[in-house]
């Protein structure tokens, strides 16, 4: 009979262990929740600087108001108020390519470029600009979008972007992914012919990648952040519901159209 290896939670009759620590002696009351979430994925305890940047990202991504996912969660809660987990899950299921995937796509895009550079990282903005220009050009030639550019509302600049760069700088964590992302912001107009803002989802991906978190799982942190936001949405739906009004506003304006038309 084989065993199932894990470095996460295990327990015996008188002890609960997590990440190789004694849960009650070493972790409860000693580490923050964001700190633990980082640790659970990265398999190392983050420094206080890393925690500050990481939690700034989670705070930035937690809630964006009446997004499709927030509305879906509220409508699901309206239909099935007996199952809070179902409403939360329904909201998270919208965390796919379009509205929540930018964080991961941007982190992965930047990381591929940075990884290609190997140990020979640029040191000046001019050098980063050259790297960014090449990356944006190749992306455009391949017929793909550069992730992290553009925002439907914040057309003149996403206010989260400079703030997260500043926080990372304060903590000594403005690394190659953020440097490259900033360079993309400076040079993309030369290639794409228009100036787009560096969006908040993108800068969060860059900052998470600079923290050394696995780029294939960056979407997971956006989902964790969103779980907190969705809880807030569902708590508000209990206090001041809108789900029934949304439903009726759609249902009452339904109009039958002949499928052949």
Q: Which of residues 17-46 bind a copy of itself (CB under 8 A)?
A: 17-20, 23-25, 27-29, 31-34, 36-37, 40-41, 43-44
Tokens for 93? 């299921």
Distance CA 6, CA 16 (A): 14
Query: Shortest Cβ distance from residue 124 to a copy of itself (Å)?
Result: 27
Determine, following the binding rule CB under 8 A, whether residue 100 of this chain makes contact with a copy of itself: yes
**Sole binder of a copy of itself in the list 45, 49, 52, 133 (CB under 8 A):** 52
Determine, following the binding rule CB under 8 A, whether residue 190 of this chain makes contact with a copy of itself: no
Does an H or E element contain 197, and which?
none
Using the minimum distance from each CB to a copy of itself, give the nearer residue, 91 or 122.
Answer: 91
Query: Shortest Cβ distance from residue 25 to a copy of itself (Å)?
Result: 8
Distance CA 141, CA 133 (A): 12
Residue list 65-84, contact with a copy of itself (CB under 8 A) = 65-69, 71-73, 75-76, 78-84
Query: Shortest Cβ distance from residue 222 to a copy of itself (Å)?
Result: 9
Contact 203, 103 (CB under 8 A): no
**Sole binder of a copy of itself in the list 45, 47, 49, 64 (CB under 8 A):** 64
**Sole binder of a copy of itself in the list 16, 108, 192, 196 (CB under 8 A):** 16
Task: Give the pairing of strands 21-22 and 15-18.
Answer: antiparallel
DSSP string, 156-176: T--THHHHHHHHHHHTT---H
Q: What is the DSSP-derived secondary structure letter of residue 75? A: H
**Sole binder of a copy of itself in the list 155, 189, 190, 195 (CB under 8 A):** 155
Contact 234, 87 (CB under 8 A): yes
CB neighbours of residue 178 within 10 Å: 23
């Amino acid at each position: 009979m084989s065993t199932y290896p894990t470095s996460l939670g295990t327990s015996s009759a008188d002890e609960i262990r997590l990440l190789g620590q004694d849960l009650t002696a070493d972790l409860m009351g000693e580490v923050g929740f964001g700190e633990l979430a980082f640790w659970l994925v990265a398999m190392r305890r983050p420094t206080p600087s890393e925690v500050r940047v990481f939690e700034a990202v989670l705070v930035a991504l937690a809630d964006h108001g009446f997004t499709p996912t927030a509305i879906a969660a509220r409508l699901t809660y309206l239909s099935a108020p007996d199952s809070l987990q179902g409403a939360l899950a329904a909201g998270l299921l919208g965390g796919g390519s379009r509205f929540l995937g930018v964080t991961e796509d941007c982190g992965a895009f930047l990381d591929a470029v940075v990884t290609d550079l190997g140990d020979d990282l640029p040191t000046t903005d001019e050098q980063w600009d050259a790297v960014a220009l090449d990356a944006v050009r190749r992306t455009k030639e391949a017929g793909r979008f550069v992730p992290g550019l553009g925002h439907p509302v914040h057309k003149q600049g996403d206010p989260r972007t400079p703030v997260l760069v500043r926080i990372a700088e304060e903590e000594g964590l403005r690394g190659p992914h953020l440097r490259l992302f900033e360079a993309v912001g400076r040079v993309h107009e030369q290639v794409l012919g228009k100036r787009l803002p560096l969006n908040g989802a993108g800068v969060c991906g860059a900052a998470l990648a600079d923290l050394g978190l696995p780029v294939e799982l960056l979407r997971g942190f956006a989902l964790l952040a969103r779980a907190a936001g969705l809880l807030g949405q569902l708590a508000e739906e209990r206090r001041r519901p809108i789900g029934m009004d949304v439903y009726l506003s759609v249902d009452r304006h339904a109009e039958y159209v002949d499928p052949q038309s």
